[in-house]
Chains A and B, each alone.
Chain A
Amino acid sequence: MINRYAELLFLIGRCLERADHYARVINIYYGMRHELMEDEQSYAWERLAAAVGYSHELQYSPANEWAVLNDLTFDRANSDSIYSSIQQVRDYIRTLRPQLPGELWDIINTFYLWLKEQDVSKLMLQSPYLFYKHISESLALFNGAADSTMVRGQYWNLIQTGKFVERMSGTVRIIYATYRNMKQDERLLDDELRYNRFVVLLKSCGSYEAFRKFHAHEVKLAQVTEFLLLNAESPRSVRFGIHTLSGYIDSNPLLHQSIRTLSIQTSDVLASIRAGKQRYGEQITDEALTLLRQLMLSLSSFAFADFSFEEEEPVTAEV
């Protein structure tokens, strides 16, 4: 494989997963607005932006529905918006076109051509729910085609690596944002509101239904954290991601060291929450937040890892 391709494949995985994550989170947050308390509603849109880690100044202040949906979905200048992510994937696949199954280009190109013509007013007209559902479905179509046509080799591994790195980042970021908000609002939250927030968190991570199968009605801090971070069987847990990653990364000692660090940091978060349970019950501690933040930072530095080979390696001419 040509060296340059490694980064493109990694980015394809990341952008696909990011678009999927944004579409899911926006849909969940959009659907739960009516359940918010009155004073929560005033900053609902800031919370949505924070949940996906959108740190730029919002284009319009105070943040309103139109501005946030536009920034996260259509903004050409925001390289993380759904549009930008899909546009990047399309460009990369166009570059790699001779190397990838033909279906993948057709799917992403059709998707891109549709998305290019959309904007917030059209989205409002056809119901945001259906709009974001269409995005999720298009991505599922792409992933399904890739799964059933791609050779399991370097190309596949690099796309998957990007996908899981992005998924883990997204999950930890949204746990952190949710917990930080819960800590801020601690005095306002009764059991029902607390429950609602956990459910929103689980749904935003695509883990709600699976969670029920493991923890039934125990929608509690320790269980939710455990499920999202350490469940061995949920493809959306951080632990699952770490495990998958170590299988895909070939002999790169540096990356393997980073993966071990991630694994330890993940366990630390849960250990802290469990330890605090005796004393603080459902309350979130500063220590837990700090540990989550550290894990989040480690993951984002992982996202910039170099998967290509060093140019200065000795020449290994073909035999």
Chain B
Amino acid sequence: MAMLMMKDNMNQLFADYEHPAFYDEMFEGRGKGRVHYGTMLQRLAKMGLEELQERDAMMQAEMVTQGITFTLYSHNPEESARERTIPFDILPRMITSEEWAHMNDGLKQRVKALNLFIWDIYHEQNILKAGLIPSEMVLNNPYYLQEMVGVDVPNGNYIPLSGIDIIRGQSGEFYVLEDNLRTPSGLSYVYKNRELMTNLFPELFYDHRIRSIDPGINALLSSLRSLAPDSNPDPLVVLLTPGIYNSAYYDHCFLAQEMGIELVQGSDLIVRDQTVYLKNRDGLRKVDVIYRRIDDEYLDPQVFRKDSLLGVPGLMAAYLAGNVALANAPGTGVADDKAVYAFVPDMIRYYLKEEPILSNVPTYILTRPHEREYVLSRLGEMVVKERSLSGGYGMLIGPTATEEEIKAFADKIVQHPERYIAQPTVKLSCSPSLTGGTVAPRHIDLRAFTFMGPDTYVVPGGLTRVALKEGSLVVNSSQGGGTKDTWVLA
């Protein structure tokens, strides 16, 4: 009898749930939950839609009060500087411990190879000499910084913090979609999502054993401290932010607070005798490590953009003199270029003599004539990305684009094939989302955060991003994507 009731409730909650034509994280088939979601499905069914909506409303209110927001950039002054909460989807996503073990190994391997690649291209350039990667793709890349050539960064560590985007394809296998090696954002949401979920759904947490993410903050702090010049045992670490109007200010604020480091702006720092100091009320304090959340080009107006008010004049000189560490190092952007991405599996084989654990999505290099012809002939099935852009800007998604959009992109590709790459449209997996008052399948991906230091640590889970618009494949928060709490089962 009880079982029957449950079934009814379950049917109510997922009554209109249309099983997607994609891999579904929660259901194997129509009405058939995956084994590891079993307990959660029962709980959710017991709660029912109404209760879920109530808790959802509480969650949204709490996010507004706490100011867990980001700012959308806009040319309209009324629109810009308006803070929004990132849409939060309260139905968690689960990853089994086997799946995680695989991803964890794959991520560590990938980040290790990427770091060796960055060292190589700024030193001996062996991989270019070996002809594995076209030299001009690296050396003519706007993110390749001449200033970094021959520079030895602390511990040879270019990317203490990276965010690797992973997707799951139709048959359930994982692929890396993108590497973010400059200043990846979103880590704070991983922690806030977990905190809000534990407060609002304690019963779900009693039912499961979930890998803790708490050591991550400590691991990041250790990574940062390990970079301090002269192995200073008690370094002054600061987080350099563009300020409260930056879209990711909440992220900066949260991380500074959690790690107990100073949150500073460019104007708080001053360089004297190639040493960076923090302007403190009772004098100047020497800064050892800067976790910077501003882009390379704004770091130092004496070296890069002269109009930068966000940076610190003389910072690069201090950095090159080895008196201060920057995380991540300048010039790492060349390795997360969308065309260089296509060569990461080769990097892994070349530097580590291993086979890649995580696969890439097939990527077409459009400067190669036959690949370009192939892509142009079936643009309607492709995703085209501008190499140097991130955040979901400058993209064509063939299957959902209009004839005109496809035509316009075809012209752009013919004119500047070197600016774009193309990939077959990946059938991102789906997960049930509470959206628009009902539960429906939505596409998701995963941004995994990796901290490289004396040990390399991957935050268990990471940030699951949800494309909340029905059928949409774009998960970026700047394009209206949401997030989910992500559980790795112990």
Contact = CB atoms under 8 A, between A and B. Distances in A.
Interface of A: 1-6, 91, 94-95, 97-98, 105-106, 109-110, 113, 154, 308-309, 311, 313, 315-318
Contacts of A5: 281
B66 A106 contact: yes
Q: Report, nearest first, the 5 A-B pairs whose CB atoms are least far apart.
A: A316-B283, A98-B257, A3-B279, A98-B256, A1-B281
Given A98-B256, A106-B65, A109-B67, A1 B244 contact: no
Nearest to B61: A110
Most central of B263, B264, B270 by chain A CB within 10 Å:
B263
Interface magnitude class on chain B: 20 to 34
B65 A4 contact: no
B278 interface: yes
Contacts of B283: 309, 313, 315-316
A170 B381 CA distance: 68
Nearest to A113: B64
Most central of A2, A309, A311, A313 by chain B CB within 10 Å:
A2
B253 to A, nearest CB: 5
B281 A154 contact: yes
A39 to B, nearest CB: 44
Interface string B251-276: 00100110000111101101010000
B284 interface: yes
A173 to B, nearest CB: 30
A110 B66 CA distance: 9
Interface of B: 64-67, 236, 243-244, 249, 253, 256-257, 262-265, 267-268, 270, 272, 277-286
Contacts of A318: 236, 285-286
A319 to B, nearest CB: 10
Given A97-B257, A106-B65, A318-B236, A1 B280 contact: yes
**Chief secondary structure at chain A's binding surface:** helix
Contact of A315 (B67, B244, B265, B277): B277
A308 B66 contact: no
Given A4-B267, A91-B244, A317 B280 contact: no
Contacts of A316: 282-284
Nearest to B284: A315
B286 A317 contact: yes
Nearest to B253: A97
29 contacts: A1-B280, A1-B281, A1-B282, A2-B262, A2-B278, A3-B281, A4-B265, A4-B267, A4-B268, A6-B281, A95-B243, A95-B244, A97-B253, A105-B67, A109-B64, A109-B65, A109-B66, A109-B67, A110-B65, A113-B64, A113-B65, A309-B282, A311-B270, A315-B272, A315-B277, A317-B285, A317-B286, A318-B285, A318-B286
A205 B111 CA distance: 64
Nearest to A6: B281
A176 B142 CA distance: 64
Most central of A4, A98, A309 by chain B CB within 10 Å:
A98
A311 B278 CA distance: 11
Contacts of B285: 317-318
Given A3-B268, A315-B283, A94 B64 contact: no
B284 A2 contact: no
A4 B277 contact: no
Nearest to B263: A98
A309 B281 contact: yes
